A = this chain, B = another copy of it.
């Protein structure tokens, strides 16, 4: 058994994305992702996936070089290594990311978002080498399947005319009836029983009406609304008050810990976040001020699966719930999310996943949802296999792009339909 990493491959790709609306704009027809592979001296390959915008790629390249010659089981060492990779300060603003709705941007967070793909790839390779599933490398699953929620979006039927892209078969959803129809389709296709609506797109009254329509169509089912911080404290409290009887939680109604703490103090509706707490540095203030009741972990932000377990332990210790966030991702990340989620005790909420929106993948076999759940794989590693032909096609698309799509920018995508569009000031309502 030789655990030495002999090579690391980085493959940036562009993956088809439907015209999903959020408060910043609309998803581009293609979203950049980065596929990471590590190869060990035994000829074992491990795969990982993360955000693919240039700033991630620029950091991943020197990191990949440093990784060669190290041991694939040296997972704690990945963080030491990450600290050694310089981040171009122009790439991190200390501000909320305009395009990606990804919360605070710091050099550390950028590093961790890159490390996460390498950590998952190392875990995959290590698991394959040892004959153990990734969940076993994380201490073992405590459940055999992980529940996901339907991730509802307001959406157009198609990307703007003239934009070359794949077409989806979901249709439009621009009002309560459209949202309910989409939810029915999600339930029919995947069996989901929890529903999250991405809000912040229309005035709050319209989104309240959509959630009300969902509650009527799916009585007793857990419902969530996530306007990505688009609301003032006052608006947040108004929405919380009007939907208190049907919401499982309200996600990031307002932006930043002080505003979230104010909302939290004024309502009994639990507040979830993937924006005001996306780094370990933000936990202390948010938890001591009781600003959030559920943290939605994105293992990419937090630096991988083992850090996600640590986050879960911190949440448990402070009586804060934990579940999982999702941004546009493929099957590698869904497999990774499922492995780590299977090991977290007290996962009280169905996890988010964009996966159903992604018609393309880089795997030989897509992961499936049965009754809204993904079965935890007991195969060695992640239990997924890379399809090199599919990967090559999506990479070629990235190569062919003139650069316009290599940075995800939902506002720029919106301007194709509405040239006057500017990123809305926050709070929008």
Contact = CB atoms under 8 A, between A and B. Distances in A.
Given A76-B142, A80-B345, 19 more contacts: A71-B140, A73-B140, A74-B140, A75-B140, A76-B138, A76-B139, A76-B140, A76-B141, A77-B140, A77-B142, A130-B130, A280-B316, A280-B317, A284-B317, A284-B319, A288-B288, A310-B314, A313-B314, A314-B314
Contact of A313 (B1, B141, B313): B313
A245 to B, nearest CB: 30
Interface residues of A, number: 33
Copies in the complex: 2
Interface of A: 1, 71, 73-77, 79-80, 130-132, 136, 138-142, 280, 283-284, 288, 306, 309-310, 313-314, 316-319, 343, 345
A76 B344 CA distance: 9
Nearest to A71: B140
Nearest to A306: B139
Contacts of A80: 142, 345
A333 to B, nearest CB: 20
B75 A139 contact: yes
Contacts of A283: 317-318
A269 to B, nearest CB: 22
B313 A345 contact: no
A79 B313 contact: no
Contacts of A313: 280, 310, 313-314
A235 to B, nearest CB: 30
